């Protein structure tokens, strides 16, 4: 059963990218429909930042984003809508109140994810977007127009289509990879997707006793072909390791496993250099434990010392080779991991539609006329801290504006 209405623009996926695309398409004068498989869409907005919704970064650094495509193309896309203008759109147009967290400096939405989702949906409705929830796209046919069909054999027609279906992360929110399947079926180059910004699973049961300890560290993940480092929060969990420093380097583990490469993850437990530790561990009459507990939580210090059998050692009698072993433990500790935590725990999906497959000015496919991509479907992601929402807003705007032209 096909609807009699021929929409100018059909947007698939009501996450931040799809909502933004629909808003800008409708503002161009296009008759726009927004489709989402979930009865209650926009779930990732609710989950962001533990519900607090860290909606934008404080600064933009294209070099911090990960892509297998052209970094030059990524940079041009990302900087096409200045951060200050994106914030103005969210505050003035959408009606969100964005505040700076005094403790972390992060930008959060007053009212959290619920307020962000409500604001974007209300803005879409004000722009005239027709929203259809519980529309699970199972067939995508045609090109002029496109035919989008649900399992109930309800077909929506759109002269142009914007795919904002997300990747594979947090599948409970509706991300099932179907958008990438559509792109693949239309012969687009797809960078194989992988979990990114995800927790790591530990191999050492004794570390479970450290669950709940949070500390600022530097994590370095190194595979045969790639390396990434991040300084930030680190959290011991009952299953392994989490926190920004882990999440921002976890893609190296994911990609190494994908390519069957060896990978190692190292931790520097403090910001002390090897030279500084050398001084601390050669002077004075303290116990080694006394020196360490001044720099890190007691339980962590005890665990590290037990692992190298130095729990009762004293600085004054510490042999050179044992001191060097301890310094390596403190500055370049090999974290015992087995794997990443998969798409179920990944905040974003790495990989996706290669950026070379789209016109960076419009996000239109170079292979299929009137087909556009935006958001997490594209081969790019940034570190935690609002960077991936920014990518969603910028690419959504570009796709929506381009798809909505010529219909007013």
Q: Which residue is listed with tokens 């004075």?
A: 284
Q: Does 272 fall in a domain?
A: yes
Half-sphere exposure of 8 (CA within 13 A, CB side): 21
Tell how strand 139-142 and strand 146-149 pair up: antiparallel
* pLDDT recorded at residue 3: 74
Inter-residue contact 251 to 194 (CB < 8 Å)? yes
Q: Does 408 fall in a domain?
A: no
Give the pLDDT confidence of 181-218 residue by residue, as tens digits.
999 999 999 999 999 999 999 988 999 999 999 999 99
Q: Compute the distance between CA of residue 376 and CA of residue 195 in angstroms, rounded to an integer.
A: 12
Tell how strand 348-353 and strand 190-196 pair up: antiparallel
Domain count, the chain: 2
Give the pLDDT confidence of 307-326 residue by residue, as tens digits.
999 998 999 999 999 999 99
Inter-residue contact 389 to 9 (CB < 8 Å)? no
Instruction: Using the 3D structure, point to which of 300, 316, 341 is the last residue of a domain.
Output: 341
Whether residue 163 sits in one domain with residue 228? no
The pTM score is 0.95
Whether residue 203 sits in one domain with residue 189? no
Inter-residue contact 8 to 32 (CB < 8 Å)? yes
Q: Compute the distance between CA of residue 125 and CA of residue 28 in angstroms, rounded to an integer.
A: 14
Q: Does 346 fall in a domain?
A: no
Per residue of the chain (408 residues), give pLDDT as tens.
667 789 999 999 999 999 999 999 999 999 999 999 999 998 889 888 777 899 999 999 999 999 999 999 999 999 999 999 999 999 999 999 999 987 788 999 999 999 999 999 999 999 999 999 999 999 999 988 999 999 888 999 999 999 999 999 988 887 889 999 999 999 999 999 999 999 999 988 999 999 999 999 999 999 999 999 999 999 999 999 999 999 999 999 999 999 999 999 999 999 999 999 999 999 888 899 999 999 999 999 999 999 999 998 999 999 999 999 999 999 999 999 999 999 988 999 999 999 999 999 999 999 999 999 999 999 999 999 999 999 999 999 999 999 999 987
- Domain of residue 208 covers 199-341
Whether residue 155 sits in one domain with residue 279? no
């Amino acid at each position: 059963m096909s609807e009699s209405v021929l929409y100018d623009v059909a947007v698939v996926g009501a996450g931040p990218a799809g909502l933004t695309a629909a808003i800008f398409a409708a503002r161009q004068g296009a008759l726009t429909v927004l489709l989402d498989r979930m009865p209650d869409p926009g779930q990732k907005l609710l989950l962001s930042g533990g519900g607090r919704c860290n909606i934008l970064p404080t600064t933009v650094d294209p070099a911090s984003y990960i892509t297998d495509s052209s970094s030059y193309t990524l940079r041009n896309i990302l900087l096409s809508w200045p951060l200050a203008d994106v914030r103005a759109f969210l505050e003035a147009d959408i009606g969100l109140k964005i505040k700076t967290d005094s403790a972390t400096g992060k930008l959060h939405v007053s009212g959290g994810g619920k307020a962000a989702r409500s604001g974007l949906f209300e803005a879409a409705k004000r722009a005239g977007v027709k929203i259809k929830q519980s529309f699970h796209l199972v067939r995508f046919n045609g090109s002029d127009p496109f035919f989008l069909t649900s399992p109930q054999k309800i077909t929506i027609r759109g002269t142009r289509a914007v795919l904002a279906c997300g990747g594979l992360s947090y599948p409970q929110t509706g991300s099932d990879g179907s958008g990438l399947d559509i792109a693949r079926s239309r012969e687009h180059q797809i960078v194989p997707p992988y979990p990114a910004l995800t927790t790591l699973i530990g191999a050492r049961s004794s570390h479970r006793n450290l669950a709940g300890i949070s500390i600022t560290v530097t994590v370095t993940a190194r595979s045969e072909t790639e390396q990434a480092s991040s300084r930030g929060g680190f959290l011991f969990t009952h299953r392994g390791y989490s926190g920004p420093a882990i999440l921002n380097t976890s893609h190296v583990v994911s990609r190494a496993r994908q390519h069957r490469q060896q990978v190692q993850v190292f931790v520097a437990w403090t910001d002390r250099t090897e030279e500084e530790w050398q001084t601390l561990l050669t002077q004075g009459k303290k116990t080694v434990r006394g020196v360490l507990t001044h720099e890190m939580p007691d339980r962590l210090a005890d665990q590290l010392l037990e692992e190298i059998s130095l729990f009762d050692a004293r600085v004054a009698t510490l042999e050179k080779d044992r001191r060097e072993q301890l310094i390596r433990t403190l500055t370049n500790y090999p974290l015992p991991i087995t794997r990443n935590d998969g798409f179920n725990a990944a905040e974003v999906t790495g990989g996706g539609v290669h950026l070379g497959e789209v016109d960076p000015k419009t996000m239109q496919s170079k292979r299929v006329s009137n087909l556009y991509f935006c958001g997490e479907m594209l081969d790019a992601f940034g570190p935690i801290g609002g960077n991936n929402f920014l990518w969603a807003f910028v690419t959504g705007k570009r796709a929506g504006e381009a798809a909505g032209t010529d219909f007013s």
